[in-house]
A and B are shown apart, each in its own frame.
Chain A
Amino acid sequence: MRPFSFTKAGDKATAIKVISEAEEGKFIAGGTNLLDLMKFDIMHPAHLVDITGVALKNIEALEGGGLRLGALASNADTAYHTEVEKRYPLLSQAILAGASPQLRNKATDGGNLLQRTRCYYFYDPATPCNKREPGTGCSAINGYNRWHAIFGASEECIATHPSDMCVALAALEAKVQVTGPDGDRIIPFEDFHRLPGNTPEKDSNLYENEMITAIDLPPKGFSENFTYIKNRDRASYSFALVSVAVGLDIKEGKIMEARIVLGGVAHKPWRNKEAEALLENMKSTKKNFENVADAIVSEAKAYEYNQFKIELARRSIIRALMQAAKTEE
C-alpha cells in the first residue's frame, strides 16, 4: 500500500471542499472494495475523505410515494428495512444475493454503485488492463473471460459491473441524487453507469469530486410480481455469471409493464426497453416470455470462455418471467 493522507468530513459541504482541494482524492465509506484495491496496488489515492460521519444514513418516505435510501445506509439495513421488504422486495432480494453478511453490514448503498469490476486482469497489476492503466490493452478479450460481458463491450474493455443491487435499482428506475462543487443534480439510474467505449477507466457519469447523497425509489415497486435470479459458481459469496431482475405490472391477466434487467453481462446493468415493450398488453405465457428472451439475447456477443452466458441469459430471463408472473410450466 502507498502512503495517503486522511480526513474525516462531518458534513456534505466539508466533504466536497476537502476533496476538491486534494490531489488524487477519493471518498471512503464502507471501504469494502476500495481498501482491497489499495492493498493490491490497483488504486492509489493520495488522500481519503471519510464521509461516514455525514448524516446520510436514513431511509425515509418521499412525498408522492417513493422512498429515499441515504447513500450511507448499509446494504444490510436497506435489505431488511420494513418498507423495502414490503414495497420493493425485488431490491431486498437482489441485495441479499450479493456478497456476505459481513460485507453487507459494512458496505453502503452509495458505495455499492461505485464498486469496481472484479475482472481478473483488472485485479492483477502484472497484466495489461485498459481500465486500470488506459492504453495498455485488454488481457481479457483473448484471455480467460468466463466472467465477462456479452452486451455493450468494446475492443478496449469487456469487464462487467459486479453489483446485484444495481440490477434491481435499474429495474425500479431509481434516481441517483448527487452533490458536487457545482451543486446538486439527479441522474436517472440508466444514465449512471457507462459502457466502456474507449474510456473504460470511467465506470460512471459522476463528475469529478461529486458524491452520491441518496438513491430515490419511485412509488412503483412491482411488489406483486417480481423475481431476482442469480446464477453463480457457488451458492454464496460469488459474483453473478448472469443475473436477472424482473418486475411485472399485471392487470386482469395482461402485462401492463415489464422491466427486465440483466446483471453480470455488461459494464452496467443491462436493459433493453424495446424488448420489454414486446410484453405490453400480452399474456403471461411461456411463448411470450421466450420471444422477449430471444429478442434480448439476439444482441449478445460472446468470447472464448463465456459462450454459455448467452443461453444462460435466455433461460434465466424466461425462468424469471415465469416466476414473476407465477406462470405454470
Chain B
Amino acid sequence: MATSFIGKPKNRVDGRDKVTGAAKYTAEFHRPGLLHGVVISGTIAKGRIKNIDTATALEIKGVIEVFTHNNTPGLAWLDLSYKDMDAPPGDPFRPLHNDKIQFNMQPVALVVADSLELAQYAATLVKVDYEVEKHRTELADHLADSIEGKGLRAGFTPPQSIGNFKEAYADAEVKIEAEYSHGAEHHNPMEMHASTVFYEEDGSLTVYDKTQGVLNSQHYISMVFGLSKKKVRVLSPFVGGAFGSALRPQYQLFMATLAALQLKRSVKVELTRPQMFSFGHRPITIQNLKLGATTKGKIEAISHQAYSETSTFEKYVENIVNWSAKLYDCGNIEQIYKLVRLDVYTPLDMRAPGGATGMYALEAAMDELAYKLKMDPLELRLKNYTEEDMSDGKPFSTKTLRECFKQGAERFGWEKRNPEPRSMKDGNHFTGWGMATGVWDAMQVPARAKAEFSADGTLRVGSATADIGTGTYTIMTQIAAETLGLPLEKVTAELGDSDLPFAFIEGGSSTAASVGSAVQKVCRKIAKKLLKEAGKIKDSPFKGAGLEDVVFSDEKISDKNDPSVNMTFSEIMKSRDLEKIQKKYMLLPNMMNQRKYNRNTHSAVFAEVKVDEDLGTIKVTRIVSAIDGGRILNLKTAHSQILGGVVWGISMALHEDSFMDHNFGRFINHDLSKYHVSVNADMPDVDILFVEEPDHVVSSLGAKGIGEIGMVGVAAAISNAVYHATGKRIRSLPLTLDKAMTETAI
C-alpha cells in the first residue's frame, strides 16, 4: 500500500523548511515597533542589591525603560502562582521580585530600548551595587548538611530499599565499593532562550516562546500576571533544541511579558550564550556504590547512594539511585538519595535526568565487580538478568534487553575480546572495549488531539505538544496518514500552539506514545465517520460495515476481503455533500492495565576507545548501541534520536563540565569555546540497531518513547573501555587527559 508509513525511514516533513530557513524560531518573529529587552545578570552568588543606578542608561534616546525590583509592580503575591507544571517542590524563583540575590548570574534588571544594540549598550551603563554574603556552592564540602531526596514530582519515584543490604553485603564472598562523580552540565541547545511578546490592540498577548510546553508557558503567564488564559496565546512552532532546558518557563518569558504589559508595547527578550548558564543544569552528584556477589557472580547485595545538589529555594529531585532493581535479580538493595542546598539556581531536567548520571555509576561499578570476579562483564549482566522489577515484583510490559545484548555483542565482535587490561597496544595507543546497560522509563500521559478532514482530501491534525527537533511533526503526520490511508503530502500536523487541544509538556520520552496515540485515535474517529457516511450512499457496499471489515488506504475505503470493492474518500464526501469532518479525541492511559507492569526502554552499549597513555588523550573509535524501544515509528528519526543520545553520552564522558569557581560561586566557562561539547572530529562510527517488540501496554501504537534511552549507559561503556585499555579506573567524568595520564593503574 502506498499509504503505509509507520516504521519507515521517512524524511522529516519540516526538514526542507528547516534547512532553507523558512522555519521561524521564537526570536525571529518581528512586527514594526517591536522593542528589545536585554537582561542584566547579577555578579554575586548571595546577598542583596544595595542600589541599582539606571539614570545614565535612561538618558539615552531610544531607551524606553529599565525594569528592576524597584519598579516592578507587585504581581501575584503567592509563590504558588509562580509554580509551573514542571516545578519541583519549593518556592519558585521570582524574577525582579525583591533585592535578594539567590544565585550567581541571577537576572537583576531588564533594559528595554528601540533596538537591540541600544539596549545592549544601555545595559553596560547600569550600575549595580551589592551587599555580599558568604555563599556556599561546593557540594563536597557540605555533605554533612544534607536533606532527604524526597518530594512529590511527576516522574519521580522516591528511593525504595528492599531486603537487608547490610547483612547480605557483610556475607558476600566478593565485594566492591567505589565512589563516582561527574561535572555539572548545561543544556546549551543551539537556539538561545527567547520570548517575543506581541501586545495586541485589545490588550491580549500573542507570545512566541522557546518552550517544550506552550500550555505551561500560558499557565505561568496567566497565573503570575493575573490574566485570563483567553487573553494569552502562546506559540512555539519550532524549537532549536531544548533537552529539558525549556520544560519550565525561564525568566526571559517573565521579563518580556512584564515589559509588554507595563509598556503596552511588543517586546522581545533573547538570552545570550553566557546567560544560558544562568538557569538550570544537570546537578553534580557524588555517588557511592557497593556491590556484593557470590564467587560465581550472583549478585546478593547492591547499595546505591547519591548526594546531589539543589537550590536554597526549590527541592529538585530526579531518579538517580532507582535503577538497579530494574536490571539485576537481587533481593537486597539499598537506595539512598540525599540533597544538599547550595546557592545555585535549581537544577533542571536534562536528557535522561538522573538516569544518565545514576546509570554511569551503577554500570561502572558493575564493570569493577566483573573484574573482581574475573568474569566477562556481559556474562555478569546476563547471569543477574531480571524479568521483573525487584522493588515491586511486577513484570515488564516488554523487555528485549537480552536480545539487545546478543545482537549488540555480535555487531561489536565482543566475543573476540581479551579481558586482560592493557592487552591491545598499537604504537602509542592502547585499545579498550567496554560495555554497559541503559534503562529509562516508557511513559504514557494523557493527551488530546483534533483532526479535520476536508472534501479536497486533505487532513489537519493538531495537539498542543512540541517538536524540539525530535521529529514530532513527522511522526504525527505518518501516523495520521497511515491510519486514514492518505499520502503524507495531504496531511498537515500542527503543534506548539496553546489554542490546540491539551498535551503535556514534551518531556520524559512520552510524546510519541501519548500524542502519537491520540492522533491515531482521532484519525480512527474520522475513519469511522467516513465509513458511516459511505454506508449511507445509495447501493453502498459498506452499508452497516464496521472498521474491522474494511481497509483505509490510498485515499479510499476497500473491502478487507475484496479490494476491488472500494469507494474513494472524495466520492464519499461529494455524494454526502460534506465539506469537512471534524473530530476530537482525548487519550487517557489505561492505568488499570499499565499498573500491572513496569514500563521501560533498555539499551546495550558497546564502546571502543584508543588511549594515548603518555599524553592522556582518549578517543572513542566505535560505539554499538542496541535499543529496546518498542515499535519504531520512523526508522530515520529514531536513528537520529539515538545517535544524538550517543553523541551526548560521548560528550558527557569526555568533555562536558560546567566549572564552578567557588570563590565567586559562578560558572566560569560560560561560552561554547570554553564549555566543551564534542565536535565532529571527536565522533566515531556509531552503529545503532533496534530490537523491536511492539509494546501495546505502553501505547496502542506499540511505541515506547526513545528520546532519552540513547544517552543512558554510554558514559559508563566508555569509562569501562578506558579501564580495559589502560588498567586505570578513573571514577570521575569528564575523562580529561590530565586524569588519564596521571591516574595510576590499580
Q: What residues make up the interface of A, taking CB atoms closer than 8 Å to B?
A: 1-3, 40-41, 118, 120-121, 123-124, 126-127, 139, 142-144, 146, 229, 231, 233-239, 241, 308, 311-312, 315-316, 319
Question: Is B564 interfacial (CB 8 A cutoff)?
Answer: no
Given A126-B43, A231-B616, A315-B615: 7 more A-B contacts, CB < 8 Å: A123-B674, A124-B274, A124-B668, A231-B615, A235-B682, A241-B737, A308-B741
List, in ascending order, chain A residues with CB within 8 A of B120's CB: 1
Question: Is B661 interfacial (CB 8 A cutoff)?
Answer: yes
A-B contact pairs, 19 of them (CB 8 A): A1-B117, A2-B124, A118-B673, A120-B661, A126-B41, A126-B43, A144-B669, A231-B617, A233-B737, A234-B655, A235-B679, A235-B681, A236-B679, A238-B673, A241-B737, A241-B738, A312-B615, A312-B616, A315-B741
List, in ascending order, chain B residues with CB within 8 A of A315's CB: 614-615, 741
Question: Within the complex, what minimum Cβ distance (angstroms) separates B679 from chain A?
Answer: 5
List, in ascending order, chain B residues with CB within 8 A of A121's CB: 668
List, in ascending order, chain B residues with CB within 8 A of A238's CB: 673, 676
Structural contact, A144 and B655, CB atoms closer than 8 A: no
Structural contact, B664 and A311, CB atoms closer than 8 A: no
Question: Is B659 interfacial (CB 8 A cutoff)?
Answer: yes
Question: Within the complex, what minimum Cβ distance (angstroms) separates A159 from chain B?
Answer: 14
Structural contact, B671 and A127, CB atoms closer than 8 A: no
In the complex, A77→B655 CA distance in Å?
A: 31
List, in ascending order, chain A residues with CB within 8 A of B674's CB: 118, 120, 123
Question: Within the complex, what minimum Cβ distance (angstroms) separates B469 from chain A?
Answer: 22
List, in ascending order, chain B residues with CB within 8 A of A241's CB: 737-738
Question: Is B121 interfacial (CB 8 A cutoff)?
Answer: yes
Q: A236-B680, A312-B738 are in contact. Are A144 and B615 (CB under 8 A)?
A: no
List, in ascending order, chain B residues with CB within 8 A of A239's CB: 673
In the complex, A231→B679 CA distance in Å?
A: 16
Question: Is B678 interfacial (CB 8 A cutoff)?
Answer: yes
Structural contact, A144 and B668, CB atoms closer than 8 A: yes
Structural contact, A235 and B614, CB atoms closer than 8 A: no
Question: Within the complex, what minimum Cβ distance (angstroms) separates B385 from chain A?
Answer: 36
Structural contact, A308 and B738, CB atoms closer than 8 A: yes
Name the residue of chain A whose CB is nearest to the CB of B104: A126
Contact of B681 among A236, A311, A316 (CB under 8 A): A236
Question: Within the complex, what minimum Cβ distance (angstroms) separates B213 from chain A?
Answer: 32
In the complex, A51→B657 CA distance in Å?
A: 39
Contact of A234 among B616, B654, B670, B671 (CB under 8 A): B654
List, in ascending order, chain A residues with CB within 8 A of B43's CB: 126-127
Question: Is B561 interfacial (CB 8 A cutoff)?
Answer: no
- Those of B648-672 within 8 Å (CB) of chain A: 654-655, 659, 661, 663-664, 666, 668-671
In the complex, A1→B272 CA distance in Å?
A: 13
Question: Is B157 interfacial (CB 8 A cutoff)?
Answer: no
Structural contact, B615 and A139, CB atoms closer than 8 A: no
Question: Is B70 interfacial (CB 8 A cutoff)?
Answer: no
How many A-B contacts if CB must be within 8 Å? 94
Question: Within the complex, what minimum Cβ distance (angstroms) separates B42 from chain A?
Answer: 8
In the complex, A312→B738 CA distance in Å?
A: 8
Question: Within the complex, what minimum Cβ distance (angstroms) separates B423 from chain A?
Answer: 19
List, in ascending order, chain B residues with CB within 8 A of A144's CB: 659, 661, 668-669
Structural contact, A237 and B679, CB atoms closer than 8 A: yes
Question: Is B381 interfacial (CB 8 A cutoff)?
Answer: no
Question: Within the complex, what minimum Cβ distance (angstroms) separates A59 from chain B?
Answer: 27
Structural contact, A41 and B124, CB atoms closer than 8 A: yes
| The 4 residue pairs across chains A and B that have the minimum distance between CB atoms | A235-B681, A308-B738, A126-B43, A236-B681
How many residues of B sit at the interface, in one of the four size bands?
35 or more
Q: A126-B43, A233-B676 are in contact. Are A139 and B682 (CB under 8 A)?
A: no
In the complex, A67→B668 CA distance in Å?
A: 42
In the complex, A120→B668 CA distance in Å?
A: 6
- Those of B429-468 within 8 Å (CB) of chain A: none
List, in ascending order, chain A residues with CB within 8 A of B738's CB: 146, 241, 308, 312
List, in ascending order, chain A residues with CB within 8 A of B680's CB: 236
Question: Within the complex, what minimum Cβ distance (angstroms) separates B170 from chain A?
Answer: 39
- Those of B714-746 within 8 Å (CB) of chain A: 736-738, 741-742
Structural contact, A143 and B661, CB atoms closer than 8 A: yes
In the complex, A308→B737 CA distance in Å?
A: 9
In the complex, A146→B664 CA distance in Å?
A: 17
List, in ascending order, chain B residues with CB within 8 A of A235's CB: 619, 679, 681-682
Name the residue of chain A whose CB is nearest to the CB of B683: A235
- Those of B30-48 within 8 Å (CB) of chain A: 41, 43
Name the residue of chain B whose CB is nearest to the CB of A120: B668
List, in ascending order, chain B residues with CB within 8 A of A1's CB: 117, 120-121
In the complex, A316→B676 CA distance in Å?
A: 22
In the complex, A119→B518 CA distance in Å?
A: 52
Contact of A311 among B668, B669, B741 (CB under 8 A): B741
Contact of B663 among A124, A142, A146 (CB under 8 A): A142
Interface string of B112-143 (1 = CB under 8 A from A): 00000100110010000000000000000000
- Those of B667-725 within 8 Å (CB) of chain A: 668-671, 673-674, 676, 678-682
Structural contact, B741 and A127, CB atoms closer than 8 A: no
Structural contact, A124 and B670, CB atoms closer than 8 A: yes
Contact of A127 among B117, B664, B682, B736 (CB under 8 A): B664
Interface string of B574-617 (1 = CB under 8 A from A): 00000000000000000000000000000000000000001111
Question: Within the complex, what minimum Cβ distance (angstroms) separates B272 from chain A?
Answer: 9
In the complex, A152→B682 CA distance in Å?
A: 33
Structural contact, A139 and B664, CB atoms closer than 8 A: yes
Structural contact, A234 and B676, CB atoms closer than 8 A: yes
In the complex, A212→B94 CA distance in Å?
A: 52
Structural contact, A234 and B737, CB atoms closer than 8 A: no
List, in ascending order, chain A residues with CB within 8 A of B661's CB: 120, 127, 139, 143-144
Question: Within the complex, what minimum Cβ distance (angstroms) separates A78 from chain B?
Answer: 21
List, in ascending order, chain A residues with CB within 8 A of B117's CB: 1
Structural contact, B737 and A312, CB atoms closer than 8 A: yes
